[in-house]
Structure 1
């Protein structure tokens, strides 16, 4: 048994999760272990309906959450160390809104919807409040067939300011140009510039961007890590793909999250089903990935994970806990879990910055 009072770091996290009837989360929770405390604690920060994914405003004490069951997006303001309150209206999104991205300059949000494939653009005012909503162009299926449905799933930002979104149902990566207010096409928000097919049945889910501009996409169905590059004109193409785990995928597996460490040298992938956390080494200045290790994720159904310094936190949705790993400073490989934090149906973790 791990002595959590000494093994776990002093931490401050916001945790979103699935509420009744699909889960046991209260809404958004504040996770933390204060200095000298006997064990980590989870307290309800705000009651909300299935805040399954969150993102923080870059400068203000605000976070944004998609309320997946309601199909909406809501801004929350921090009012105490571990407390939030809604600010502004709860804006409509789409069925099973599953991801929210905040522009690094705090100008807009992008929300993606699993239910109908919608990609939505929301402008923010100077106070971080949502003030408008526009729908981006619908996806085109490059592999038409029976029972295929567009399912937009995640958003990321290229170094040159373009937006990327995944479509898990149509197996494509989509590239967008942001049109600011006052431009010739004002009001459109996002202008589609490319759709990149990744292979029928792959299921591109989440993605992360290396400082070199290479993009790493994890595929939910084929359980792969795909490396995307771009030519001198900014056109994206597939540069390589490898299995996301050393042991290989099982029939009940589905990949979940992919992240890049702060140094840009390691990529971490979580796989639900066999419940693994994989480590990949970044090579050739971002152009190549190589698997270097797998460990058990410390719980059941690892939906999301977050690295902070020498620690990595895994949100295990079905075992109602966040597992904590220490990372080897030289190899970047995670240990076995050093402890866990009980919390209902966790689905997303973001840092809780000092007020």
Structure 2
């Protein structure tokens, strides 16, 4: 089985040359069980850190993160791709793109400036017109409703006239002590220093939901935003500092969101009137540590009984059981991922593949279908700074 492999190139400190190809087992098989081989570069590109495949065409979309663009590629051979149209600007540090189930549009998220862009997808898979969606504000930010007006703006005090009157009243002996507002001393202007702890919008992920909805995460503002077309219909604020990163839709009707900073999984669901709310939340694992562990990807098994979350820092992967019709989550296990900085993973059948961004490799591990627990490491292959895996179903 083949996989397209996203990665970081030299412009972002990586070793990849573009979109790569990974072969797992027999190339023509539909199962990844078997030895892993990095088969080279399918298309040269600058840091294609995330990849999304068209549901019906041999077209793949890559976010060229440092350039802040999305580029479409068409498949030209078993292991080769060629650009399809020109790259489309989508915001600083575009890190994720997702294509709608009907392939009518694609949504890109930019980590650097929080931009969410919705792009029309043409019949041949090429990218069409783009619309930058509405920006948002920090739900935990402070904005004064009635900022104090300056005295000068109020226009009630003439400082020059007042100083002249005061000098006259003080007399010649003390007049020099009153400031001369007609000829003020030059004032040194201090440089403005940006607060390193300031919160900024950081769009990170898009999940398509039934009924024409989609949800985007804002890791910087702790928001999950719900959209229909180009219109935002609701926001759900997670706890301050949680950092919602990636999400996965579950057939029970729940949206599960993994948080990068607080290392938790939140379950969101819609009420009968369509209003989304938080149902429950659990730690990714009771063994993870705040400030040390940073969850990356979340996925669900085909039967919906378990979630898997890769955790950077401890370099582990957690299994979480889905209970009570999706309304309750319970940690099952936390095991070694076998790589350094497990950036992304994908489950195909009973085999989990994990991209080790810092260890420059990809591994495959077995998954117990009954317990959901990730088992033994099966195979490993060197791969240059991998960041995303997309299975190719020929």
- Residue of structure 1 equivalent to 2:6: 16
* Counterpart in the other structure of 1:48: 45
Q: Is the 8 A contact 1:261 1:307 kept in 2?
A: yes
User: How many angstroms does 1:255 deviate by?
Assistant: 1.2
Contact 2:263-2:290 at 8 Å conserved across structures: no
Q: In structure 1, the residue corresponding to 2:239 is in which secondary structure?
A: coil
Residue aligned with 1:337, SS? strand
Bigger shift: 39-48 or 17-26?
39-48
Task: Give matches, 1:123-272, under 5 Å.
Answer: 123-144=120-141, 147-178=198-229, 190-272=230-312
Distance 1:34 1:206 in 2: 29
Structure 2 gap ranges (5+): 28-33, 143-196
TM-superposed CA distance for 1:238, in Å, is 0.5
Assess if the C-alpha contact under 8 Å between 1:295 and 1:336 holds in 2.
no
Q: Could you tell me how far apart the structure 1 residues matched to 2:214 and 2:363 are?
A: 31
CA distance in 1, matches of 2:48, 2:202: 18
- Which segment is superposed worse, 341-350 or 241-250? 241-250
Q: Secondary structure at the match of 2:258?
A: strand
Partner of 1:76: 73
The CA distance in 1 between the partners of 2:133 and 2:348, in whole Å, is: 33
Q: Residue in 1 aligned with 2:22?
A: 31
TM score, norm. by length of structure 1: 0.91
Counterpart secondary structure, 1:63: strand
Q: 1:112-168 CA distances to partner (integer Å, 9 max, x unpaired)?
A: 000000000100111111110101010121011660100000000122220100000
When residues 311 and 167 of structure 1 are mapped into structure 2, their CA distance, relative to the original with a 3 A threshold, is same
Give 1 or 2: higher helix fraction.
2
**Helix, strand or coil: the match of 2:113?**
coil
Cα distance change, pair 288–307 in 1 and its aligned pair in 2 (3 A): same
Contact 2:288/2:314 (CA < 8 Å) preserved in 1?
no
Pairs aligned (count): 333
TM-aligned CA deviation for residue 39 of structure 1:
5.7
- With normalisation by structure 2, the TM-score equals 0.82
Q: Conserved in 1, the CA contact under 8 Å of 2:35 and 2:379?
A: no
Question: Could you tell me whether the CA contact under 8 Å between 1:42 and 1:343 is conserved in 2?
Answer: no
Which residue of structure 2 aligns with residue 326 of structure 1?
A: 366
Structure 1: where are the runs of 5+ without partners? 1-10, 179-189
